[in-house]
Amino acid sequence: MDGGAVERREEPPAGNGKGSGNGAAGTPVGRSSYGDRRLRLNPNTEHKPERYDDLQTDLDPSIFTSLERHLPPSMLEVPRDVKVQFMKEILARYLPDGERSRVQRHKEYKQRIMSGYQPLNTELYNMHPEAFFVPSFIKAINDNTEDSFRNILSEPSPGVYAFAMLQPKFCEMLLAEVENFEKWVTATKFKIMRPNTMNRYGAVLDDFGLEAMLNKLMDDFICPISRVFFSDVGGSSLDSHHGFVVEYGKDKDVELGFHVDDSEVTLNVCLGKQFSGGELFFRGIRCDTHVNSETQPEEIFDYSHVPGQALLHRGRHRHGARPTTSGQRINLLLWCRSSVFREMKKYQKDFSGWCGLCQRERKERQRQSVVATKLIEFSESSQQAFLRSGGGPLN
């Protein structure tokens, strides 16, 4: 296995909220209007919550989106402001002070950036599919069928899908925007948060105004594909994201160690520029229990980046990046998350639907069960034959 033990590549501690919900299990006391309304212990996976991105609050909007799935049936059809008030009262009692402080600090951090940074390409900050995506990708999304997706996808290794996605002009504009943002950071000596705990270079796109556009990217373009190919890991209920770019090359990060992503589904698109090396290596999908288990030969896959071409894979698919030996490589990453899947995973022990080692262990149990059944059948058959031949009972 490349790289030894697998790391979990996560956002830095003061980064975006992860949309993983909260532990509230009761109702606040002292409010007669809500006193008889108890939260669901398990989330309502069939309910599609409202968006709270426009909410003026110190809390991350994804927390409200996640908590709405735990509301009692009587609260699901009430006006949004009533839901918000109800959830705020719950969160005020149950959300840890440390989490509220972290969210508030990050909100203030983003506000400081937005108040000072002037975008270079304003058209990037709203979704323009015809300008952003290649025609084949747009057609597949508009047709919205498994066949239409398979027409543009290749699956070079199980669970890894490659397809042409971004227009060269979009890649150029986004690269220029990131460069413009980094120049502003340098000029103002603003200390920015890096994308995650493993990358020392790059920028969080959500932090300087691209969050709404990336939400549209996830909701309207990644979710339809994920529902078809990643339903086993929450692909049907993606509800939050972490969007960023990473930079590799001279005086940047050179390589990336063996790891899993803090996502259910990961979109990875090469933006450019000119470079050599930097291949991704994949080594099988694993649950938390088996994340450091050995790689099987059929799980080994290496992939060479092509500007504008996207990869889509499970966040739990172990991977890393080989050294970029010359030039500069910049990639767009979108970690797509499902608070429903994360909540349900807490109560599961068997992940044989997607974990490679869980699958092998299940097959081995099934094999042993078949062998044991055959042995019992053989023993019974032998005893019956012996009895028919006039012998006594076998002990």
pLDDT in tens, 19-64: 333 333 333 333 334 444 677 767 787 888 888 888 877 677 777 8
DSSP sequence for 104-144? HHHHHHHHHHHHH---S-GGGGS--HHHHB-HHHHHHHHH-
pLDDT bin (cut points 50, 70, 90) of residue 386 is low
In whole angstroms, what separates CA 49 from the centre of its chain? 18
pLDDT of residue 96: 66
pLDDT above 80 (res 98): no
Most trustworthy range by pLDDT among 50-64, 72-86, 153-167, 270-284? 153-167
pLDDT bin (cut points 50, 70, 90) of residue 118 is very high
Query: What are φ and ψ of residue 8, in 5° steps?
Result: -105, 115
**In this structure, are residues 246 and 195 in contact, taking their beta carbons and an 8 Å threshold?**
yes
pLDDT of residue 32: 35
Instruction: Give the residue, 393 or 106, on which the prediction is more confident.
Output: 106
pLDDT above 80 (res 102): no
User: Which of 2, 10, 28 shows the shortest CA–CA distance to 86?
Assistant: 28
Instruction: Assess whether the previous peptide bond of 191 is cis (omega < 30° from 0).
Output: no
Q: pLDDT tens for residues 301-351?
A: 999 999 999 999 999 999 999 999 999 999 999 999 988 888 888 878 788
pLDDT bin (cut points 50, 70, 90) of residue 178 is very high
CB neighbour list of residue 389: distance below 8 Å, 6 or more residues apart: none
pLDDT of residue 115: 94
Comparing 211-215, 331-335, 375-379, the range with the smallest average pLDDT is 375-379
User: Which of 311, 309, 310, 314 shows the shortest CA–CA distance to 337?
Assistant: 314
pLDDT above 80 (res 91): no
Q: Write out the H or E segment, with its range, that includes residue 76.
A: helix 73-76
pLDDT bin (cut points 50, 70, 90) of residue 4 is low
Q: pLDDT tens for residues 130-177?
A: 999 999 999 999 999 999 999 999 999 999 999 999 999 999 999 999
- Distances from the Cα of 374 to the Cα of 25, 158, 233, 381, 394, angstroms: 49, 33, 36, 10, 18
Q: Tell me the average pLDDT across 229-234.
A: 94
Query: What are φ and ψ of residue 112, in 5° steps?
Result: -65, -40
Q: pTM value?
A: 0.75
